[in-house]
Amino acid sequence: MEYFGMDLLVLAVVFTVASIPMGAFAYGFSSISTPLLLLAGYTNRQFAPLLNFIELWQNPLLLYVNRRSITAKALGQALPISLGIVPGTLVGALLLKSADPSLLRLATFLVLAPLVLAQAAGIRRPLGDWRLLAPLGFPIGVLYGVTTISGPPLAMILNNNGLVKGEFRTAMAVIRTVESTATFISYLTLGVFKPAVVYLAALVAPVIVASMIIGQVVARMARPEDFRRLTMSFDAWMIGYGLMGALGHWLPFALIVIADLILLRYYITVQRPRIIKGENSPI
C-alpha cells in the first residue's frame, strides 16, 4: 500500500534491515536505508525528510539507552564536531531543495562508496587536536543535510580518536541528535519537510523500535566487529549496485565488490585475530 508516493511494505523491509545495526552501534540507519531506497526508485528529496524525522526521536532514544557512558572524553569529541555540523546541515538542506534529483542520486552513491570502503579497511589514525574536529564537522553536516547520512565518516573519526564501546555509542548519539535537530529546523524553514511525514513515520515506528531492540540483543550475543563488518559489506555491495544503475555500466559494481572482498579477506586473516587478542578495541 502506498502512502504519499512511498510503498509501506518497502519502507518496512528497508527500515527493518537498517534499524538492527542502528540498535547495535548507534549508527547505520541512514547509510543502509538511503542506498536501498534509491535502488527502490525514490529520490533523496522524497525520503530524506522521513529519515530525518525518524532520527529526530531515534537518536535521543539511543542517547538515553547509553546514558551511563556519558563521559568527559566522549563529550570532548562530540561537541566540537557538533559545532561544525550545525551550519553544514543548512547548506545540505539548501542543496537537497535545489539540486537535480538524478544528480543527487549519483552524487550520493559516489560519496558513500569510498566512505564505506575506507571504514571497512579499518583505518586507525588519530586526528589529534580537538580543534580540528569542528572544521571536519562542516562537510559531514552538508552530507547529512543532503542524504541524512553521517555514520561512516563519524565512525572513522571517533574510532580513530580512541572512543570505544559505550563511549563511542554515546558520542555518536550526541552528535546525531544535534545534527538531526539542526537538519529538521532547516527542512522546516526551507519548506522541505511536509506534515504528512509525521503520519508515515508513525506507521513504521513499531518496526523500527522492534528492530533496534533486536540490534541491541545481537550486539550482546555476537562479536560486534564481525557484525559491523558484515553490515559494511552489505552496504558496499548495495552502493555498487546503485552506481551500476546510475551510470549504466557494470564496472563500478565489479570494482566495489572486488575491493570489498579483498578488504574482507584482510579482516578475516589479519584484523580479526588482532581484535580477538585484544590489540584492537571493537565498537
pLDDT tens-digit readout, 79-98: 899 999 999 999 999 999 98
C-alpha cell at 6: 512511498
pLDDT tens-digit readout, 190-200: 988 888 888 88
Q: Where are the beta strands (DSSP E) in the chain?
A: 2-3, 6-7
2 DSSP β-pair partners: 7
6 DSSP β-pair partners: 3
pLDDT, average across residues 131-138: 81
- Residues 88 and 139 sit within 8 Å (Cβ to Cβ): yes
Q: What is the DSSP letter of 132?
A: G
| Cα separation values, 231 from 147, 224, 264, Å | 19, 11, 11
Per-residue pLDDT, 218: 78
Most confident of 48-57, 162-171, 242-251: 48-57
Chain centroid offset of residue 33 CA: 9
pLDDT, average across residues 267-277: 82
C-alpha cell at 30: 541512514
Cα–Cα distance between 85 and 79 in angstroms, integer? 10
Hey, what's the torsion of the CAs at 216, 220, 222, 223, to 10 degrees?
A: 110
Per-residue pLDDT, 183: 96
Chain centroid offset of residue 55 CA: 11
Model's pTM, two decimal places? Answer: 0.81
pLDDT-based confidence at residue 3 (cuts at 50, 70, 90): low
- Residues 133 and 80 sit within 8 Å (Cβ to Cβ): yes
Helix 101-120 × helix 133-147 angle, to 10°: 130
Chain centroid offset of residue 128 CA: 24
Does 13 have pLDDT greater than 80?
yes
pLDDT-based confidence at residue 282 (cuts at 50, 70, 90): very low
pLDDT, average across residues 27-36: 83
